[in-house]
Structure 1
Amino acid sequence: MSESELTEIYNPVKILIIDDDKVIADILKDLALMDEQERSVSVCYDGAEAISMIKNESFDLIITDLIMPNIGGLDVLKHAKKKDPDTLVIIVTGYASLETAIAAVREGAYDYIMKPCKMGEIKIVINRASDKIKLNRENKELTRKLKEVYQELMLLNNRKHKSEKIKSLNFFSSGMAGLHHLYNDSMPDNYIDKLQALSSLMEKGLLTESEFKTFKNHYLNLLSSEK
């Protein structure tokens, strides 16, 4: 695996926290950074600003309040998923209802947290989301490498079939089934003997003069390349 590929997999998880209550937003930031060095956390206190940030940057995880002035959490969720379907979005709200929960799930929310909630519970959800993001990165890289290996195998397989097809082309007489021994790698690389065998086949009428010249040139080229 190249250095750039490793860097992509182990890049810090980029988190965006959105809440119009600055105290709550800062608490969520502290929780996101707690006991974890591989995270980068940005905070904003307005839905419109959040959407602008999402358009200009890529985030792995977004934690947003549901009810905010002008633009709420569901709109942030929609914009985030439109920008990148792989982005995980956690909705946090003190105005929980079955309706909003269903709407959030339909829009692709990763989780839905109701206030008041224990800080430990939020921390668990954030850690679980971060683990999922890292696992998704590794799975993507594994899938990419499997595709590369598959393509290489297909290329080798095509080359093999092409080589076998060339060897089996019937550009010589139909009665020359025994010519395959001329390609047998177990035989000594004695081109003189092979040319004599070709000459004998031509004398028996199993090989035309043109076909004999083709094989002769082939072996002479091999002999020349070994010098």
Structure 2
Amino acid sequence: MKILLAEDEKITRKSLTDILTAEKHEVVSFDNGNQAYESIKKNDYDVIITDIRLPGMNGIDILKNAKELNPKIIVIIITAYASVETAVEALKFGAYDYLIKPFSPVQLLSILQHIDQLKLVLSENENLKKRIALLEDKTIIGSSEKVKSFMNTIKTVAPQDYTVLIQGESGTGKELCARTIHNFSTRKNKNFIAINCAVIPETLIESELFGHEKGAFTGAIKKHIGYFEKANEGTLFIDDIDDLPYNIQVKLLRVLQEKEISRVGSTESIPIDVRIICASKVDLKQKVVEKQFREDLYYRLNIIPIFLPPLRKRKEDIPELLIHFLKKHGGEDKIQFLNDDIYSTLQKYNWPGNVRELENITERIIALSPNNLINPAVFEPLLNSPDKTEQDKTAFEHYDNFDQYISNKEKEIINWALEKSSNNVTAAAKILKIPRTTLRSKMEKLLITNYNES
């Protein structure tokens, strides 16, 4: 440890310096309080050992001023003039310990050993706090234009209480997007409650959403508060809304209209004040066409649509995401070994699992890369994955007939042109080299709604 020793007695100062140096500590000594304090201002010391009575600034003033400069600095007071009052005063101002002359060097070394152990524990605690902060970090990572675009939308709509529908493939970060909206909203200090319709059995979802009274059904042995009541005054995030049973959709629509719920087994109406954010992994409009999702509910939910791009459409964010995940999962020591070859491999991969898959790969890098290096074998599954051409050869197998396949391809091409033209129909028609009226007709037929008239 780096130690400052302030002691005006030459023999004591010299002997303590020799003892501490022999124990591998770095020691800087002074016989004057003012000189000692000037050194404290210019240097970072782990421990200050000071006599109370010194020429110039006394030990108590050194203690107080040092603590003002750095509240974490550890100060040990030594003196030949001991009293209960001076001991209490020193401890009151933050002294770690108090030694009375004459004292054995073993006493001081024992205190320093305890300090060393304390600093180790505090350092580990600080590292754990940083790890926890990263694990709990709900910030959207990325600097690409696509991320900036939907972040601008989030910041615009968050302060308002409109219902939001987030659409994106699995692993694109829909819950993270919902949390970000909540954190930018006026409800940020209230509850954020998340529910996933895909993982709750159909027989229980009504009870989970709206709650139930004791005896409402077999097994209802006590009253249960549902997610809507838990989220009251806050935000309720309903993920995989496309998996919500059709009969529950009617009840959700009523809640959105009336802003009140009734628990299962009760006729009492309970007023609620909840902001609703929903997410879907599929095109919800198509589910409406297929009569699997209520049209009236769709329009109630789709007041503010947000489309999250898949990772393959924002690959420029991969380096930033990779570094974030390495820090999050304790792999900071691997960052220095990242290079262009690794980034190139990650850029070539198509990322069907999106950001979630990249996080899984990052954890694999940490687990399979000992000695601070990065094991190249981690990337072999990515290098050996089937390329887009091979995937396209089997793509037709997922369609029932030729017309469905062609319609899907037309939709892909039109969406590509709209993306290139910032969703401007006129510009997209020029890119595709077709009349604007033809493009509008096809878009209506294919239920493409993410465009701007011009």
Counterpart of 2:10 in structure 1: which amino acid? K
2:138 paired with 1:159: no
Aligned to 2:122: 136
SS of the equivalent of 2:49 reads strand
Secondary structure in structure 1 of the residue aligned to 2:55: coil
Residue 214 of structure 1 is matched in structure 2 by 411
Of structures 1 and 2, the one scoring higher in RCO (CA 8 A, sep 6+) is 1
Distance 1:157 1:18 in 2: 60
Say if 1:159 and 1:101 are closer, same or farther in 2 by CA, change over 3 A. same
Paired AA for residue 65 in structure 1: D
Where in structure 2 are the equivalents of 1:152-191 lying within 5 Å?
Answer: 159=173, 161=175, 165=279, 167-176=281-290, 177=292, 190-191=394-395
| 1:42 is aligned to 2:28 | yes
Q: Deviations over 1:160-219 (max 9, x none)?
A: 5369635245233515339xxxxxx9xx97322434469469xxxxxxx7x88436768x
Contact conserved, 2:31 with 2:55, CA < 8 A, in 1? no
Query: For residue 77 of structure 2, what is the aligned residue in structure 1?
Result: 91
1:20–1:68 contact (8 Å) kept in structure 2: yes
The residue aligned with 2:60 is: 74
The count of residues paired between Structure 1 and Structure 2 equals 191
Secondary structure of residue in 1 paired with 2:173: helix
For 1:112, give the aligned amino acid: Y
Counting only pairs closer than 5 Å after superposition, residues 119-134 of structure 1 correspond to structure 2 as 119-134=105-120
1:197 to 1:149, Cα distance in 2 relative to 1, 3 A: farther
Amino acid in structure 2 at the alignment position of 1:83: L
Name the TM-score, length of structure 1 as normaliser: 0.68
Q: Structure 1 pair 191/157, CA: closer, same or farther in 2 (3 Å)?
A: closer
Give the counterpart letter for 1:191 in structure 2: A
Measured at CA, do residues 124 and 151 of structure 1 come closer, stay the same or move farther in structure 2, by a change above 3 Å? same
Q: Which has a greater percent of helix?
A: 1
User: Alpha-carbon deviations, 1:95-144, whole Å to 9, x = none?
Assistant: 11111111111111100111122222122112222222233233323332
Work out whether residues 2 and 47 of structure 2, in 8 Å CA contact, stay in contact via their aligned partners in 1.
yes
Question: How far apart, in 1, do the equivalents of 2:134 and 2:410 lie?
Answer: 42
- Cα separation, 2, equivalents of 1:215 and 1:194: 15
Q: What's 1:31 paired with?
A: 19
Q: Is the alpha carbon distance of 1:74 and 1:197 closer, same or farther for their aligned partners in structure 2, counting shifts above 3 Å?
A: farther
Letter in 2 for 1:131: Q
**Runs of at least 4 residues of structure 1 off by over 4 A?**
152-158, 197-201, 215-218
| Letter of the 2:288 counterpart | S
In 1, Cα distance between equivalents of 2:399 and 2:414:
10
Aligned-partner residue type, residue 30 of structure 1: D
Q: Secondary structure at the match of 1:90?
A: strand
Distance 1:88 1:197, change over 3 A: farther
CA distance in 2, matches of 1:56, 1:148: 33
> For residue 194 of structure 1, what is the aligned residue in structure 2?
398
Which runs of 5 or more residues in structure 2 are unaligned?
142-169, 178-238, 241-278, 294-352, 354-390, 416-454
The aligned counterpart of 1:112 is 98
Is this contact kept in 2: 1:14–1:41, CA < 8 A? yes
In 2, the alpha carbon distance for the partners of 1:89 and 1:169 equals 64
Q: Report the CA distance shift for 1:50/1:32 in structure 2 as closer, same or farther (over 3 A).
A: same
Structure with max Cα Rg: 1
- Deviation string for 1:15-69 (max 9, x for gaps)? 10101112111222223233x33x2111111110011001100101000001112
Amino acid at match of 2:20: A
> Cα offset for 1:80?
1.3
- Hey, what's the Cα distance between the residues in 2 that align with 1:215 and 1:157? 20
